[in-house]
Structure 1
Amino acid sequence: MEVITTGIFILLTVAAYLGSRYLYFRYNNPLVNIVLISSVVLIAILSLGKFSYAAYTPAKDIMTILLGPATVSLAVPLYRNRQLLRQYGAAIILGVGMGTVVSMVTVLCITGAGGLSREIIVSIIPKSSTIPFAVDVAQMAGGNPALAVAFVVATGTFGSVAGLALLSWFKIHDPVARGLAMGTVSHGQGTAMALLEGEQQGSMAGVAMALAGIFTSVLAPVLILWFVR
């Protein structure tokens, strides 16, 4: 019975994704976001069917196995656009580094001014890196890993919904700049949306996502130590 339920959940997840993807390309509107819509549909199905998250977990575990190959596959568009790395290498490293620092410092200023607890602030700081980086940073600094995951997902979802539209609104149309911005701020979800827009955007977003994770791991502990003192 569990095997059948797991199979049904996998099919529902794939159907939600394909339906959301169709709507995205059909209407080309930032609010028609693949991750957001498919997540809402799945949550609604689980809630209406009175299924617990534990019941969905086996299906989730099977599907997340594909995250590794999917991440590695980002090397394909990157290899095709490797000339961009040679051309803009220094600018990419500097830009992603500055973007990562600005993101973390902004969080410190806003959350500190808001009087939030140290645990929450530490958990928010690595929000623009991927979940493995954010969880490790939060744990080392005394934050809450669950909160860190929640903030990472929320950041990625918001960035994937509004990121490209905001870049267009500010008249930033260069594919390299758009990809780097999405990967730096919105990690995996932003990279997925950048890849849908174009191969150059997706390859640069993948580079930015990796660099942002490295910069976060190195710089976040320093900023947190400074904040505590």
Structure 2
Amino acid sequence: MVVHLPMATEILPPEEGEAEGCVQCQAGSKLVLFVTGKCHWGCSYCPLSENRRETPDMFANERRCSTWEEVIEEGRAMDATGTGITGGDPMLDLERSLEAIRELKGAFGPNHHIHLYTSIPIDAEVAGRLAEAGLDELRFHLLDLRTTNYVNSITVAADAGITTGVELPCEPDKAEALEQVVRDLCDLPVAFLNLNELEITTGNQTNMDVRGFNLAGGMSAAAEGSAELGQAMKDLAADL
């Protein structure tokens, strides 16, 4: 007997103007490099499991790695066309993140696309070092859903030649704040805004319960109302 299960979520084809990091991720060709678990923000929606929080360990996909050779081996095993560097917050271990970029570019070549997430504002010096190492794309996670502390960071990153964007979870109870972010970003040199469907995981379930979020249903871990709010923000951006 063959049992057919519906897909938990539909993966849509890339749209025009979509970030290159997202295009490759949708194709399943991006290595996920968890460069450090260090993070001091304590976001209520953080999906990380306890064994990843605050750990100094590095993971390539799900493989714990202690050397760059192991990271590269994992990338070769999946024929990675690029790497997404995440955490924790990679900027809390800047030197390791820079080394990761250099090692990956050295192993896979200059066309190996690398993007990195951070919540930490950066200055022109750091932006220059990231660009020199070979970073292709930088995604800022705006704390408190305000652009105020990131205007200079976004500007210097874009000026350094790094494709610069913003990536945020789409929290169903933050519609007004998200709308303001969309409007504010119109005046900044951002190439894209990614709104991720909020997920309820073992790492954030207690906080999500406190905020009154429920699962959207089916096999998805998505929070009810997140996808609908994301579409509303997309429609707003198209009209601005």
* Fold shared per TM-score above 0.5: no
What TM-score results when the alignment is normalised by the length of structure 2? 0.27
Structure showing greater relative contact order (alpha-carbon pairs closer than 8 Å, 6 or more residues apart): 1
Larger % of strand: which? 2
More helix by share: 1
Question: Which TM-score applies when normalising by structure 1?
Answer: 0.27
